[in-house]
A and B are shown apart, each in its own frame.
Chain A
Amino acid sequence: MEYAVEMRGITMQFPAVRANDNVDFSVLKGEIHALVGENGAGKSTLMNILYGLYSPTAGEVYVNGRKTEFHSALDAIQAGIGMVHQHFMLIPRMTVAENVVLGAEPRKNRLYDRKQAGKEVEQLSAQYDFSLPARAIVRDISLGMQQRVEIAKALYRKADIIILDEPTAVLTPQEIDELGNMLQQLKSIGKTIIIITHKMKEIMDFSDRITVLRAGKKVITVNTEETDANQITEYMVGREVHLGQGRKSYSQEEVMLEFQNVSYQDKVKNVSFKLKKGEILGIAGIDNSGQKEITELAAGILTPDSGKIIHNGMEVKIYSAKEIKESGTGFVPQDRHRHGLVLGMSVEDNLLLGYQRLAEFRNKKVFLNRKAVSDNAIDKIKNYDIRPTDRTVLTGKLSGGNQQKVVVARESSRAKRMIIADQPSRGVDIGATELIYQIFSDACKKGESVLLSSLELDEILAVTDRIMVVAEGWVTGVVDSSKTTRTEIGMMMVNSASKQEVAE
């Protein structure tokens, strides 16, 4: 058995962190190999090295038995490696054909040979059964189709080794199955596939072998048939995970938040639901189905085009993030770097953000009471296990998990009625994730409510009381978490134009 890829002793040292620590990683020719680990384990970094985007601090890379030193993506492409990134590398204003051939365009005397490109893309499309619309503009096609364009790009450049980075993040369960079939098909014609993921189902269903990374180091490589999901999770995390186990419901009848026929642009369509006191209501759906907008409407960031939003019995007349926050609603936004934190300010200052006008932080109305600010920071850092414990450190230096803890600490401690959280576990290690969901559970015990949006179906099933499923801006179903299944939810995630239910 030959190795398609051998990476020996790879170390990648960034100024602040060692992303890969003496990692050995080998992939056999013609296999599907899963590279797994939780957020921050170093998987993407390792593959970026393989694809030539980073130069490793130490270590060697062998492709098809030959030692290589890639200085750019072009080098990797020429060695037969293709990569499909987590966030698509497409130019929205160009056509599918133009995107597929980008970087290796067919030419006719220095001119771009549009006809030839179209022909070749159609050929490729037929060969692999992609049905790509060669002349369509990329910004107009679906995400699933865009991913196929990405894969076509790699195949067009004659890649024999294809790396897929978190390919299923934006797919419905059905599309994920289709992807699985496509991977099998590629394998059958001799391609080698490396798939980076942290989703258990894909790991177990798709791969032949699995390599687990944890905190930059390689833990183990196993044959998929010889292991199971629990064992892999243990390898990934280093201990057993108890997400949502032994959960009690604190749901009451009183309604904290109600949406009545709320619409917003083409993202949210006639959505109605009720969030009860003491309950955790999850919002499930594929990415960009309107969850972000629903959470932002509830938090007062966006103003609905039509419909009513009722907080605690009172209809909202003026949508202002400030007022809704002051009425006791905490908001953990989807993009913590852009919207939740000011990375250039200290942890102490970030623990204050949004609440600086409260009386406890003010001194004679105009001045900031610095002592109160630092006391607040010290308190939060201790209670929410934020590391490093220095409150004057710039927030940009914290890890993803700790940054999220800052946001959650700030919002949940001040929220008196409701916490709205959008993908709180994204990019966050499992330890912090557990803590965050524990915080939400404790909040419910105190009579607060949580509106939680997440793309991680397993998490939603484990930690919520009820789940509202959205697709293309519509609510397609509301179910009891303990009584539903992945399949049922999966079907609701695609079933858009059908009846929408009102959550009771």
Chain B
Amino acid sequence: MTTKLSRDKMLSVLPSLLIILIAVVLISIILLATGANPILFFMNLFKGSFGTKRGLINTISKAVPICLSAFAVALANKVGVFNIGVEGQLVFGALGSAIAGIYLQELPAIIHVPLALFGGILFGMLYAYLPTWMYIKQQANLMVVFIMMNNLAKLFSTFVIIALIQDPASMVTASQPIQKSAYLPMIMTSPGKLNISVFILIAVAILIYVFFYKTVYGYEMTACGVNGEAADYSGINTRKYIKWALILGGALAGLAGAIEVQGTYFKLYDGFSPGYGFDGIPIALLSNNNPLFMMVGSLLFAALRVGSNTTQIEQGISGEIVTVIQGILVTLIACEYFIRYIAKRSMTRKKGRRMTI
């Protein structure tokens, strides 16, 4: 039985590894086409992200909001829907946290920090609510609504910054700074900046792990995700799970946004997120919703983001390359069925049996 288990496990991981491999090849081709050296590219990525102590700490720090976004996407995947509105929920959540951080004054940090975080969570949940409602009540195309909401969030956030909370002294479009009492406590500031959000992330990861794999609810969610109709017939309340998966996903995304405001920037910058919400999508899909794999994947993506600064400086490669990588991964994930078919065929082909296919 152990051989079968490990065979099945291998079969489930193989497609993801294959996808990553193909992505690396494709990126290299694109880089070559624009005259850049792909080997140097990957080396610079590594150098910038893991090569120095400072880089490593920064990478870990950046991995937090990315990982929370991935968790949000994974939560929805588990019940069989796609939450691609994480980016919008993240931005909107940041707005909530910023407002709580700026305007609530004279509060001790021990109250202000969680309160502002909660502001982010609340705004994230609210932002996920309308699309969820439209999906459940009207069977609207969830992905289309989420994409619209993402665009709206960015515009709305810019509007609020400029119209209501702008910092006139700042050179770029940004809000006023938040109160010091809302700052996330730091673990270290040198060689790199790291705050307690890492612990928050680990706590959430453990919670998710236990929830998915050890509880009755995790079992029911899995059933919903694999065959929602059968789950319905067996008495599981699929609609409730879908609703909560999406709204809690919004909560996680909002938390990610709040963490960035309260832990990294200490104010709300216009366009502060280079697409953390979108990073979550390929990470969750490739990890098959496994929290451990998602944490690893987030680290890799964070390395991509941090390292791309180095590649920009050293090789002049535009930071947009990260979006290109996102796109390649997601597109490849769409062919998963076929890739799994190839993987399966190569594993089950026995000698002597001719297959005319």
Q: Contact residues of A with B, CB < 8 Å?
A: 13, 15, 55-58, 301, 320-322, 325-326, 331, 333, 338-345, 349, 352-354, 356-357, 361-362, 366-368, 390, 392-393
Contact = CB atoms under 8 A, between A and B. Distances in A.
B350 to A, nearest CB: 11
Given A58-B354, A390-B1, A356 B233 contact: no
Contacts of B226: 342-345
Interface residues of B, number: 30
A55 B233 contact: no
Contacts, number: 84
Residue from the set A58, A333, A356 with the largest chain B CB neighbour count within 10 Å: A356
A349 B235 contact: no
A6 B149 CA distance: 62
B1 A392 contact: yes
20 contacts: A15-B344, A15-B348, A301-B232, A321-B232, A321-B235, A325-B235, A326-B235, A339-B229, A339-B233, A340-B233, A342-B223, A345-B223, A349-B223, A354-B234, A361-B216, A362-B216, A366-B215, A366-B217, A368-B214, A368-B218
B231 interface: yes
B279 interface: no
Interface in B197-220: 214-220
A349 B224 CA distance: 13
A326 B235 CA distance: 9
A350 to B, nearest CB: 9
B1 A341 contact: no
B4 interface: yes
Given A57-B354, A356-B219, A392 B230 contact: no
B141 interface: no
B137 interface: no
Nearest to A339: B233
A340 B234 CA distance: 8
A342 B232 CA distance: 11
A352 B214 CA distance: 15
Contacts of B356: 55-57
Contact of B227 (A326, A341, A361, A392): A341
A353 B218 contact: no
B5 interface: yes
A301 to B, nearest CB: 6
Nearest to A349: B219
A353 B1 contact: no
Contacts of B229: 338-339
Contacts of B351: none
A121 B1 CA distance: 60
B215 A333 contact: no
A299 to B, nearest CB: 8
A438 to B, nearest CB: 24
Given A15-B348, A57-B354, A354-B235, A340 B230 contact: yes
B344 A356 contact: no
A68 B217 CA distance: 56
B352 to A, nearest CB: 12
Contacts of A361: 216
Residue from the set B222, B226, B234, B236 with the largest chain A CB neighbour count within 10 Å: B234
A247 to B, nearest CB: 30
Given A57-B354, A342-B223, A390-B1, A301 B233 contact: yes
Nearest to B237: A322
8 closest Cβ pairs, A-B complex:
A322-B235, A354-B234, A344-B226, A342-B227, A339-B233, A321-B235, A353-B234, A342-B226
A56 B217 CA distance: 46
B230 A342 contact: yes
Contacts of B237: 322
Contacts of A345: 222-223, 226
A176 B303 CA distance: 70
Contact of A368 (B216, B231, B232, B354): B216
Contacts of A56: 356
Contacts of A366: 215-217
A331 B353 CA distance: 42
B160 to A, nearest CB: 40
Contacts of A352: 219
Contacts of A13: 353, 355
Contacts of A392: 1, 4-5
A390 B219 CA distance: 20
Nearest to A16: B348
Contacts of A367: 214-216
B355 A321 contact: no
A357 B4 contact: no
Contact of A320 (B222, B227, B235): B235
Nearest to A331: B233
Interface in B230-282: 230-237
B4 A321 contact: no
A326 B236 CA distance: 12
Nearest to A362: B216
A368 B215 contact: yes
B210 to A, nearest CB: 8
A68 B48 CA distance: 64
B111 to A, nearest CB: 30
Contacts of A333: 233
Given A331-B233, A333-B233, A357-B216, 12 more contacts: A322-B235, A325-B234, A326-B235, A339-B229, A339-B232, A341-B230, A345-B226, A353-B223, A354-B233, A362-B216, A367-B214, A368-B214
A340 B231 CA distance: 8
Nearest to A299: B233
A229 B144 CA distance: 59
A352 B217 CA distance: 13
A289 B234 CA distance: 24
B227 A338 contact: yes
Interface string B145-183: 000000000000000000000000000000000000000
Given A57-B354, A353-B223, A390-B4, A321 B216 contact: no
Interface string B280-307: 0000000000000000000000000000
Contacts of A393: 4
B220 A344 contact: no
A15 B342 CA distance: 12
Contacts of B353: 13
A367 B216 CA distance: 6
Contacts of B214: 367-368
Contacts of A338: 227, 229-230
A341 B232 CA distance: 11
A321 B237 CA distance: 10
Contacts of B4: 390, 392-393
A361 B217 CA distance: 12
A55 to B, nearest CB: 6
Contacts of A343: 226-227
A113 to B, nearest CB: 38
A356 B218 CA distance: 11
Given A356-B219, A361-B216, A342 B231 contact: yes
A392 B3 CA distance: 12
Contacts of A357: 216
Nearest to A410: B234
Nearest to B233: A339
